[in-house]
Amino acid sequence: MMPSDCSDSAGLSASAPGGVRAVTRCDVLGQAPFSEEPDRLFRPYLSAAYRATSTQIAGWMQAAGMQTRIDAAGNLIGRYEGLAPGAPALLIGSHIDSVRDAGRYDGMLGVLLGVELVAHYAAQGRRFPFALEVIGFGDEEGSRFPVSMLTSRAVAGLLREPPTGMQDAAGLSLQAALAGEGLALEQMPDAARRPDEILAYLEAHIEQGPVLEAENRAVGVVTAIAAQYRFRVHLQGVAGHAGTMPMTLRQDALAAAAEAILAIETIAQSGPPDLVATVGQLTVAPGVPNVVPGSVVFSIDVRAGEAAVRNAAAEEIRKALEALAARRKVTLDMSLQQDLPATPCDAALTDLLGEAARTVTGAEPRRMVSGAGHDAMVIAALAPVCMLFIRCEGGISHNPAEAVDPADVDQAFQVMTRFIEDFAGRCP
């Protein structure tokens, strides 16, 4: 068990409403020592900031009545026993890592809402036929190592072997990062849970888009999560002197990459509305003003609600890049780094969550497909999943401007309590 640290540096009252307190705690965790950088939020997996955050949340979990542990993948888990010790669990959570220069609510809000739910029931002395487990996944974003959702993959039993060969931007291996936290790479697959241990998974998350705000809704019910590809593209040209290399003879890798990025944008714009493609990373070498760039590496993220749409777009992108590489006389290496299939949420759980939302809001809930990836799409390999979206200001996410209305979050809290109680009523 981790040491208890139940302090709230915001001076928050223990009687504050669940949703409001969850927001305030997110704000507490949006600054040092819970960030690696003093002037912006960056909480990568297995960093000092990650460790401080896990310790703080564990203290809040313990104060809420949970027993806490860190699993073999570095995930934080709090357990509130059911009526019978050792009962299977309803798993509630999201992720606690962040992108660089992040907002405060992406992922973290779902974890802290889980803590508030347990605190709510523990204060009543109420237990269910199942345990409540709250999980903070360690690496959803992939902001440190090259694969996202690494730790939910471990929990879902999808890491058959230890993931060797991974390094962060500083050259530190995943093995060394785990060892620094007292964990072992070879034991990472041991984080896998058995299907008979987990009844279902509930994840609350900010929408990260503008639909709920446009429709003046506090919450929405997710029906599916879009399919996603992530590629690494390497264009290799020839570096040369910027003053002596004629334009007609250049094999400029950056100029080729610029054309490639515009081609990718055009292909995505020509598809259905749910098709999106993004180039989010680009590394240029040698990266000096007076040398024609000889090498460029960039990422491509392709998503769509249906795998067939995503796949067709990815193939069109590949053909376009092959054609321009041949024309510009640069070599192309395009490798698939991640393949996340479209994930439908469990129909029965989604209906139950929709009923809870209808009861709380008094209106038919907005049903929507998530264009963003979430740990839920991985956990679906282990147990049936459902997701609740929460309105965020301007649809902005992965940005310090990320904002939520505490009243919306409190409404989400009420929906989740209703869902848990209705779920309990359907248990044998």
**Domain containing 318 — which CATH number?**
3.30.70.360
Cβ burial of 396 (10 Å; 0-12, 13-18, 19+) is middle
Contacts of 123 (CB under 8 A, 6+ apart): none
CA-CA-CA-CA torsion for 399, 405, 406, 412, nearest 10 degrees?
-90
Q: Which residue has the tokens 């809930």?
A: 365
Last residue of a domain, one of 289, 321, 340: 340
φ, ψ dihedrals at 338, nearest 5°: -155, 140
CB atoms within 10 A of CB 83: 12
Whether the ω angle into residue 293 lies within 30 degrees of 0, i.e. cis, is no
What value, to the nearest 5°, has the Cα angle with vertex 306 and ends 301 and 308? 85
Determine if residue 306 is labeled as part of a ligand binding site.
Answer: no
Let me know whether 192 and 104 are in one domain: yes
| Cα 106 to Cα 261: distance, rounded to the nearest angstrom | 27
pLDDT tens for 327-346 read 999 999 999 998 888 899 99
**Domain-located, residue 44:** yes
Q: Which residue has the tokens 């949340």?
A: 57
Let me know whether 336 and 356 are in one domain: no
**Domain-located, residue 285:** yes
Contacts of 421 (CB under 8 A, 6+ apart): none
Determine if residue 290 is labeled as part of a ligand binding site.
Answer: yes
φ, ψ dihedrals at 232, nearest 5°: -115, 125
Let me know whether 142 and 271 are in one domain: no
**Domain-located, residue 12:** no
φ, ψ dihedrals at 27, nearest 5°: -65, -40
Last residue of a domain, one of 283, 315, 340: 340
Intervals of the chain under pLDDT 50: 1-14
pLDDT at 34: 97
**Domain-located, residue 379:** yes
| Containing structural domain, residue 29 | 18-226+342-425
Q: Which residue has the tokens 């809001």?
A: 361
**Domain-located, residue 2:** no
List, as one string, the DSSP characters of 366-423. EEEEESS--HHHHHTTTS-EEEEEE--GGG--SSTT----HHHHHHHHHHHHHHHHHH
Helix (H, G, I), strand (E, B) or coil at 201: strand
Last residue of a domain, one of 305, 323, 340: 340
Determine if residue 399 is labeled as part of a ligand binding site.
Answer: no
pLDDT at 364: 95
pLDDT at 124: 94
**Domain-located, residue 8:** no
Contact call for residues 197 and 230 (beta carbons, < 8 A):
no
Determine if residue 241 is labeled as part of a ligand binding site.
Answer: no
**Domain-located, residue 4:** no
pLDDT at 341: 83
Q: How many domains does the chain fold into? A: 2
Determine if residue 141 is labeled as part of a ligand binding site.
Answer: yes
Let me know whether 317 and 349 are in one domain: no
Q: Which residue has the tokens 């009243």?
A: 407
Let me know whether 75 and 222 are in one domain: yes
pLDDT at 342: 87
Contacts of 83 (CB under 8 A, 6+ apart): 127, 128, 129
Residue 122: name the closest of 75, 176, 65 by CA.
65
Let me know whether 170 and 219 are in one domain: yes
Let me know whether 233 and 123 are in one domain: no
Let me know whether 256 and 385 are in one domain: no
Helix (H, G, I), strand (E, B) or coil at 61: helix
Let me know whether 48 and 91 are in one domain: yes
Let me know whether 201 and 105 are in one domain: yes
Handedness of CA 231, 237, 241, 242 (dihedral sign): negative
**Domain-located, residue 1:** no
pLDDT at 300: 97
| Cα 222 to Cα 225: distance, rounded to the nearest angstrom | 8
Let me know whether 246 and 289 are in one domain: yes
As a whole number of angstroms, the longest Cα–Cα distance in the chain is 79
Q: What is the CATH number of the domain that holds 401?
A: 3.40.630.10
Determine if residue 205 is labeled as part of a ligand binding site.
Answer: yes
Determine if residue 193 is labeled as part of a ligand binding site.
Answer: no
Let me know whether 95 and 238 are in one domain: no
Contacts of 396 (CB under 8 A, 6+ apart): 103, 402, 403
The two tokens of residue 198 are 């987990």
